[in-house]
Structure 1
């Protein structure tokens, strides 16, 4: 699985509605967090490596009313506290 983090900026007053729709409608979403600052939501997503995240973002996220813009980051490795030994 390939992991991604997607920052989402929402139209004014639409953050909660957009967050709920992302959880229900976008495949591979692990969690959606409301955040402060320039962006309104942070989406954690995991998809099969051979699938195209750009297509997923453009087809699924773009279809949700209330989203102004997104920024996608790829995550290459997960550091799990249970897996780290000193």
Structure 2
């Protein structure tokens, strides 16, 4: 499994609806509300063999209220 972190900026007034929709999908690791330029931080496990970009597009980017995302890929440290 590959781990990615996705920072999510929501349209004004839609953060709770976006978070609720993510929670309903049930295949995320963690979801946090954050301060600063981004509204939510999502930790997501990408199943082995899945294309990361397609998985994120299919899993996240169809949610109404998302304005922009920033994906951080992770790699084995040692």
> TM-score per shorter chain, which class?
0.7 to 0.9
1:28–1:47 CA contact under 8 A, matched in 2: no
Aligned length: 77
Show the 5 A alignment for 1:5-84: 5-25=5-25, 28-77=27-76
Please tell me the root mean square deviation across aligned C-alpha atoms, in Å: 1.5
Query: TM-score, normalization: structure 2?
Result: 0.87
Report the equivalent of 1:2: 2
Q: Larger Rg: 1 or 2? A: 1
How far does residue 21 in structure 1 lie from its aligned partner after superposition?
0.5
Alpha-carbon distance in 2 for matches of 1:50, 1:60 = 16
Query: TM-score, normalization: structure 1?
Result: 0.80
Alpha-carbon distance in 2 for matches of 1:69, 1:57 = 13
How far does residue 57 in structure 1 lie from its aligned partner after superposition?
1.5
SS for the counterpart of 1:9 is strand
Alpha-carbon distance in 2 for matches of 1:5, 1:73 = 5
What residue ranges of structure 2 are gaps of 5+ in the alignment?
none
